[in-house]
Amino acid sequence: MHIKIYQINSERDPGRAKFMGLNSVKDIDPASYDEVFIGDVDCKNLEDVFTMLNTRGHPLHRGHSLSVSDVVLTENGAYFCDTIGFKDIDFDESKAHKPDGLLKIVYVEPNRPPFISEVCNDLKSLQRAVMGLIEPVYLGDGTILVGNEEAKLMGMEGNRRVGDSIIAGPFFIVGEDGDDFRSLTDEQTQRYMERFTEPEQISQREVQEDMGFTSRDDIDFSAPGLVNEVIDSLTPEQTAGLQFVEDTVNGLHAAMTGRTPEQVKAAEVLYILALSEQAKESGFVTKLAGCFTDGQTDEQLITEINAVFGTDLDPEDFSAIMNYANHQLVEVAKAQLGNVGGEPYWSWYGFQGRVEWCACFVSWCANECGYIDKGIIPKFAGCDTGVAWFKNKNQWLDGSATPDSGYIIFFDWPDENGVQDGSSDHVGIVEKVEGGRVYTIEGNSGDACERNSYPIGNYQILGYGTPNLF
């Protein structure tokens, strides 16, 4: 779905129409609007667009979350985001304002066709576009591929093969202007739209091997003395560093007792990616744990973190990192919707013929993300095996809880007499929670990969596995 998004600039809003519904606005003036996004999104309708920009967002979106008074342009016309739903309107986009210095780029995401878009030529915007530190790769034809320097270390999905390397995570192509960037020419734009037009299927194992990592399957972890050999190969400084990280993480877990799994995960992310230097200071664990409160938004959390540690972290960047990690499994599962029979999943698992394949599907998706090799999600064909694994890891929530995207949902179906035996009969992946309902993607739902939804706390939900992604 190709869209443009426009939002009112308060400095050019004499009628104070920003955040006002259509009934309260006398005249919609396109000149008061800024263009804040142009590109293709994985949405089917305007409601999907609204949900996307108010949950996981988009790395190229330059504005605030989609709100009342915003205008969305699609191939079918212009639509005003009203207090309830969207209303079609007349909107002359040529009168709207576009920021100076925008770069015309070709943007490429894993598992999706490329699209033409724009990005501001400042470090913060460029980093947000690739969801981390930028790494330029000069292509030798007047263009530069800009990717995430740490994409593979962060476990991002394989995107495209370029030369002998695999590029992981989102990247974009931009023009080269000496030591700076410039917009692509029309010819360059067309060339790279054609070059990357077909998404590539790249497994997480291939990404790891491209980094020079050896597959876990090639290592005999039971070999005598292996652990001692690894430990002996470390310098005293490396040994002390690893011990410090382990002690800090363990301290965080203890200090965060009573907090949600998502908050514990957020504390680990903040420590590893943003506060490693501050962690050397006395009282770090207590200070970090003290930044978390019940019902806290990402913006409130990061505001508190900045106040306590004197940092300048961006709430939107933090949300993007957390959302990317949570949505990676979901995005893999979404790409399988419509499969019938489950043959790719049960045959991958090793079965010679069809079996009840819901758990094989979850395991297959986890493997595509590299989560099985990393010990984040187990490889399991029986639902009760999955339940036991998560419970043994203390990564389990009762079925009455409100889950997060990327959790593994287990069900206990009642028999013909309405009796439940406390064992799991079916498993799927939580896509999102919205409007009091849990939306899932499930394999072997009517022998197909299907979307389903259930009220939060539904009696058929046995519980949730809560993968620790960091």
**Between 320 and 455, residue with greater pLDDT:** 455
How far apart are the C-alpha atoms of 89 and 79, rounded to whole Å?
6
Interval 224-242: pLDDT, tens: 565 566 667 777 887 888 7
Architecture category of domain 328-465 in CATH = Alpha-Beta Complex (3.90)
Q: What is the pLDDT of residues 193-234, one digit of tens each?
A: 999 999 999 888 888 788 765 444 455 545 556 556 666 777
- The pTM assigned to this predicted structure is 0.51
Residues with Cβ within 8 Å of residue 251, at least 6 apart in sequence? 285
Look at residue 199 in the predicted model and tell me its pLDDT: 93
Burial of 409 (0-12, 13-18, 19+ CB in 10 A): buried
Cα dihedral 347, 465, 132, 273 in deg (nearest 10): -130
Cβ atoms within 10 Å of 298's Cβ, excluding its own: 16
Taking residues 180-202, what's their average pLDDT?
A: 94
- 438-451 pLDDT per residue, tens: 999 999 999 999 99
With a CB cutoff of 8 Å and minimum separation 6, the contacts of 456 are 402, 433, 436, 437, 438
Q: Give the integer Cα–Cα distance in Å for 60 and 117.
A: 8
All structural domains of the chain with their residue ranges: 2-95, 102-210, 226-313, 328-465
Q: Which of 125-129, 206-210, 330-334 has the weakest average pLDDT?
A: 206-210
Are 412 and 418 in contact by the 8 Å Cβ rule? The answer is no
In whole angstroms, how far apart are CA 198 and each of 3, 160, 195?
21, 9, 8
pLDDT at 215: 47
180 within 8 A of 101, measured Cβ to Cβ: no
Q: What is the mean pLDDT of residues 325-350?
A: 88
Residue 131 has which token pair? 């969801």
List all residues 6 or more positions away from 6 whose beta carbon is below 8 Å from its beta carbon. 30, 33, 34, 35, 36, 70, 71, 72, 73, 91, 93, 96
* Helix 358-368 × helix 383-392 angle, to 10°: 50
The pLDDT of residue 276 is: 86
Rounded to 5°, angle at Cα 156 from 184 and 240:
125
For residue 416, count CB atoms less than 10 angstroms from its CB and return exposed for 0-12, middle for 13-18, buried for 19 or more: exposed
